[in-house]
Amino acid sequence: MPEITAKNLRHMSPENLAMMSERYHPLSAEGVLIREEFERRRKPWHDTFIGKIVAGLIIFILSLLLGMLIGK
């Protein structure tokens, strides 16, 4: 049986991941890797590091614009 790594799972389609998850026990090492890959793919954009930076910049710019409008 081939060894499963997180790097291999990143290149799999969702259908292949679903088949793999049915094949392995959820508490096995392979099952944990597959579950983590599913969770990584479901993470919304604003939960990532870059997403938090972008959201912070947008909020900062909007607060500056609001401050300029109120200050007039």
**pLDDT 10s digits, 41-70:** 888 888 889 999 999 999 999 999 999 999
Q: Is the Cβ–Cβ distance between 38 and 10 less than 8 Å?
A: no
pTM over 0.85: no
Q: How confident is the model at residue 72 (pLDDT cuts 50, 70, 90)?
A: low
- Locate the domains of the chain by residue range: 6-71
Q: CB–CB of 4/30 below 8 Å?
A: yes
Cβ-based neighbours of 52, under 8 Å, separated by 6 or more:
46
- Beta-carbon neighbour count of residue 71 at 10 Å? 6
Alpha-carbon distance of 11 to 23, in angstroms, equals 18
Which DSSP symbol is given to 11? T
Give percent of the chain with pLDDT exceeding 70.
96
